[in-house]
């Protein structure tokens, strides 16, 4: 059974595209021809003007945190602001926990 559509993100363009999921196929941004990052099927993009939200999103995606649906019905709790991210990074450093685990809940 084929997978459904999932979100791919271009961070420099601040754009999100829903495309069919294909694990081995690299994705290219139609605007800048840069690489797209797989964000997951439960991803909801911030507004293009919201620079702080896109900055926080870039940290999450580059840390390997995705927005995939789970058996509970959603991506879980994700930090939305830089303040929340900084707090979780400090917690990860103190506890010795991997960053992706702390950022992803």
Residues 45-61: pLDDT tens digits? 999 999 999 999 998 89
- Chain centroid to CA 28: 17
Coil vs helix vs strand at 37? strand
Range of the domain at 63: 5-104
Could you give the CA distance from residue 3 to residue 20 in angstroms, rounded to a whole number?
7
Report pLDDT for 31.
Answer: 94
pTM over 0.85: no
Report pLDDT for 24.
Answer: 80
- Relative orientation angle of helices 82-95 and 51-62, to the nearest 10 degrees: 30
Cβ-Cβ contacts under 8 Å for 34 (sequence gap 6 or more)? 10, 12, 13, 28
Could you give the CA distance from residue 18 to residue 62 in angstroms, rounded to a whole number?
19
Report pLDDT for 66.
Answer: 83
Which of 24, 27, 69 is closest to 44 using CA atoms?
A: 69
Which of 54, 100, 46 is closest to 76 using CA atoms?
A: 100
Report pLDDT for 75.
Answer: 52
Could you give the CA distance from residue 17 to residue 31 in angstroms, rounded to a whole number?
11
Question: Could you say which residues of the chain have pLDDT below 70?
Answer: 1-3, 70-77, 105
Domain count, the chain: 1
């Amino acid at each position: 059974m084929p997978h459904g559509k999932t979100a791919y993100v271009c961070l420099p363009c601040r754009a999100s595209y829903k495309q069919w999921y294909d694990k081995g196929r690299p994705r290219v941004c139609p605007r800048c021809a840069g690489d797209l990052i797989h964000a997951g099927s439960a991803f909801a993009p911030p507004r293009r003007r919201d620079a702080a939200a896109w900055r926080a999103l870039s940290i999450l995606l580059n840390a390997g945190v995705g927005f995939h649906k789970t058996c509970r019905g959603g991506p879980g709790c994700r930090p939305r602001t830089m303040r929340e991210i900084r707090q979780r990074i400090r917690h990860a450093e103190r506890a010795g926990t991997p960053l992706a685990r702390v950022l992803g809940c």
